Amino acid sequence: MKLLIVGGAGYIGSHCVLESLRAGHEVVVLDDLRTGHREAIGDVDLVEGSLHQPNVLRSVFETHQIDAVFNLAASCSVPESVHNPGLYYHNNLAGTLNLAAAMVEAGVTRLVHSSTAAVYGDPEEVPIPEDHRMQPVNPYGDSKRLVECTLTEMAKAHDLKHVCLRYFNAAGADASGLIGEDHADESHLIPILLQCALGHRSHFTIFGSDWETRDGSCIRDFVHVTDIARAHLMALERIDDLAGESINLGSSHGASVREVVDIAKRVTGCEFDVREEGRRDGDPAVLLASNEKASSLLGWTPDNSDLDFIMETAWRWHRTHPSGYGSDFRQIPGQKSRFGELAVKLGFVTEQDIDRVLIEQDKIRSEGRGHKMMGLCMVEMGLISTTQLVEILRHYDDGEE
């Protein structure tokens, strides 16, 4: 099947790309790269553009025989949505309307759409079921609520089968270490903690210590990004039977902010300053998903969403990519890449293989295709397997020389 993944160069989108490729699908990515990264999708066919360019959308569907669409293109910062609500209704609602109209025109009928737990607002029932009333408390959540309602109405008039997946707190990174989370202005809990562990931030702040929870800090539901990506493929497989459904994606096991801080310190082995401030407006005490519907309708379970594993995979990515996709692991004159040294030491490659990889990296840069990490180059060149890549990264994580 040929999939169009809109927003595929972003955090969750790139994991959907990787899982789709692993499942044997062909993939085309549409992304304007404002927040996404070309390096996150390797050599996958990229159309650089946005949902606000009808000519680009039309060209994508005319050029490629698309069978289904994953839409992950959205603005998703709650504080930004409060300060600039017009941007969020424009990007999230108008953008999705443009995509749906282009799909109808092209005769593409299957859409898996990313939604959010923010559509519920302050929960009256925990864990939150899908039939919980939708009363968002910020423009981000409201824009996503309107998208769901609009898709439902469009499906009444057109052959547009859609499933909306309501994410809770997406976290972690692909276990291979190939891709991960890289935002210019990071606002997510786990990456901020890991930036503290790396020394990129002076301290971590807990907002509110007097919530009615087991330790006074907020409780959130973290779900591994790979589990979210898997759910997109499961929804696509069953979309003829599930058209029109909205489905929660969460672990159904909450962790308090204090507990997440403790796990971050234990996994990284790093101490950092933790401070406390007052509550933030709009923060509910507990957000926890009911995932019974995902289990019964999709056969989905959050297999990778143990919080220790989430933290370990996130740390693997952040430690080996301390500046995100802009991290520079090029060989310094007179020195060898530590990653390359470990690969040789473990017997997976030779010194001559490393030279070939360095040549390939230089070629990619000279062609204006960004910087491709050494491990990814090795995998794509057939020098190592993804299992061997994980083993090298494990030694890298352990600080072995």
Q: Domain locations in the chain?
A: 2-188+223-248+290-303, 328-397
Per-residue model confidence as pLDDT tens digits over 200-226: 999 999 999 999 999 999 999 999 999
pLDDT of res. 217: 97
Task: Return the closest-CA partner of residue 181 out of 325, 34, 75, 21.
Answer: 325
pLDDT reported for residue 53: 96
Q: Which class for 382: exposed (0-12), middle (13-18), buried (19 or more C-beta within 10 A)?
A: exposed
Q: For 62-84, how does the pLDDT look when each residue is reduced to its tens digit (9 = 90+)?
A: 999 999 999 999 998 888 899 99
Q: Is the pLDDT of residue 370 over 80?
A: no
* Rg of the chain on CA atoms, in Å: 21
Q: Which long-range contacts (CB under 8 A, 24 or more apart) does 81-87 make?
A: 81/138, 81/139, 81/140, 81/143, 82/138, 82/139, 82/282, 85/139
Q: What residues contact residue 252 under an 8 Å CB cut-off, 6+ apart?
A: 127, 221, 288, 289, 290, 291, 302
> Is 60 exceeded by the pLDDT of residue 86?
yes
pLDDT digit string, tens, across residues 233-261: 999 999 999 999 999 999 999 999 999 99
140 is a catalytic site residue: yes
> CATH: 3.30.930.10, 3.40.50.720, 3.40.50.700, 3.40.50.1260. Which one for 2-188+223-248+290-303?
3.40.50.720
Interatomic CA distance for residues 72 and 283, integer angstroms: 24
Catalytic residue among 11, 89, 140, 396: 140
How many contiguous H segments (helices) and E segments (strands) does the chain have? 16, 12
Task: Yes or no: say if 17 and 8 are a contact pair by the CB < 8 Å rule.
Answer: yes
pLDDT on residue 358:
83
Asked whether the predicted pLDDT for residue 329 surpasses 60, the reply is no
Average pLDDT over residues 23-39: 95
**Eight-state DSSP code of residue 93:** I
Of 85, 146, 94, the residue nearest 115 (C-alpha) = 146
Lowest mean pLDDT among 9-18, 133-142, 178-187, 267-276: 178-187
In terms of average pLDDT, the best of 236-240, 370-374, 395-399 is 236-240
Helix (H, G, I), strand (E, B) or coil at 256: strand
Rounded Cα distance between 149 and 126, Å, is: 23
